[in-house]
Structure 1
Amino acid sequence: MKLDLEPALAAGGGGTEMSSEVRRLILVALGEQTLSFADVLVAEILLVERSYILPLPFYGSAVLGVIHHQGGVVPLVSLRRALGESAAVLPERLTAVRLTELAPDGLAGMGLVVDRLVGSVSVEDLTKFPAVTYVPAASVLARLAPNLWQPQRWAA
């Protein structure tokens, strides 16, 4: 199956035209929803100890902070908080989906914290489970606030 990433990138603020071969979908849980990330959007799945997160002051509650990972810095964003859901208490170990450079502008390399990893499924196997509804991650990424990475200002 060919996935045209141009609409997803345009919805998320990206401007790069590209088409990539999608073979698998990475499934994650966020509340009652199961989100499906195209394999070309997922660099890796991270398991992060909460104590390793370096908080960033002056950013919104969705920005949990950053972690050091393989010689670099990975920003972590709570998808629940970014979408306006209640700010639940963070568990000791977080699951994050780290996005590739094919992600919409401003999201490449970011770790999106989800509730749990469900698994992966091939595109061909999707037809075997017609009753299961997967929410495309591209539609969720398009709903993220464009000012997610803007520091909050002091109230005057």
Structure 2
Amino acid sequence: MSNASQTFDQGTAEQYLTFSLGQETFAVSTRNVREIIEFGRLTPVPMMPASVLGVINLRGGVVPIIDLRQRFGEGETRIGRRSCIVILDVSRDEVQQTIGIVVEAVCAVLEIPPQDIEPAPTFGSHIRTDFIRGMGKIDGNIVVLLDIGRVLSLEDMQQLASTAASASKQSA
């Protein structure tokens, strides 16, 4: 379903984890959030796209870490004292993956009522907006609600899954 025609359930508000990347505020559904951890040492993986910073060992499981700013073509995320990794459970077309995203700061968990969510704007046929679930209006500001399963292409998710599996075998 295209985001321009996506409608939101007019019932209950959904909870979103908001975070900052540069000057922008983004949000993901709390249903996808597994946990938030301190930014720490990453193990680089050769021949990965620049947006894949590496992997971490999370309680015995290998989790790939993505720099969303790089994924969006906005340069590297600035790592500071408030930077952290949000661990997400992502599924797309039957492919399920646990990934981490580096964020400059976690802001808050907010409930956004459906009437405060607008469909993603259309920018023309050459600009992708399929990964935008909608635009949340919060206190006069706009928050980009991400469909985290669409931020990465299916090929990217499969590559991350195989990278995590390979790194897991090497550490065993």
TM-score of the superposition, structure 2-length normalised?
0.61
Residue 73 of structure 2 is aligned to residue 84 of structure 1: yes
Cα 1:56/1:92, change in 2 over 3 Å: farther
Cα 1:44/1:22, change in 2 over 3 Å: farther
Q: CA RMSD in A?
A: 3.3
The Cα shift of 1:87 comes to 3.0
Residue 116 of structure 2 is aligned to residue 137 of structure 1: no
Matches within 5 A, 1:12-23: 23=14
C-alpha contact 1:65 1:76 (8 A) present in aligned 2: yes
What is residue 123 of structure 2 aligned with on the other side? none
Unpaired runs of 5+ in structure 2?
4-11, 117-136, 163-172
The Cα shift of 1:107 comes to 6.6
What is residue 123 of structure 1 aligned with on the other side? 112
The Cα shift of 1:94 comes to 4.2
Instruction: Tell me how far apart the structure 2 counterparts of residues 29 and 93 of structure 1 sit (CA, whole Å).
Output: 10
Unpaired runs of 5+ in structure 1?
1-5, 9-20, 152-156
Higher strand content, 1 or 2: 2
Instruction: Tell me how far apart the structure 2 counterparts of residues 112 and 56 of structure 1 sit (CA, whole Å).
Output: 16
Which structure is higher in RCO with an 8 Å CA cutoff and minimum separation 6?
A: 1
Cα 1:92/1:56, change in 2 over 3 Å: farther
Runs of 4+ with >2 A deviation = 87-94, 103-108, 126-130, 140-151
1:39 to 30, 34, 44: 30
Residue 18 of structure 2 is aligned to residue 27 of structure 1: yes
Residue 63 of structure 2 is aligned to residue 74 of structure 1: yes
Instruction: Tell me how far apart the structure 2 counterparts of residues 76 and 33 of structure 1 sit (CA, whole Å).
Output: 20
Aligned length: 130
81-90 or 55-64, larger mean C-alpha shift = 81-90
2:92 to 104, 108, 114: 104
Instruction: Tell me how far apart the structure 2 counterparts of residues 40 and 7 of structure 1 sit (CA, whole Å).
Output: 21
The Cα shift of 1:76 comes to 0.3
The Cα shift of 1:37 comes to 0.9
SS at match of 2:39: strand
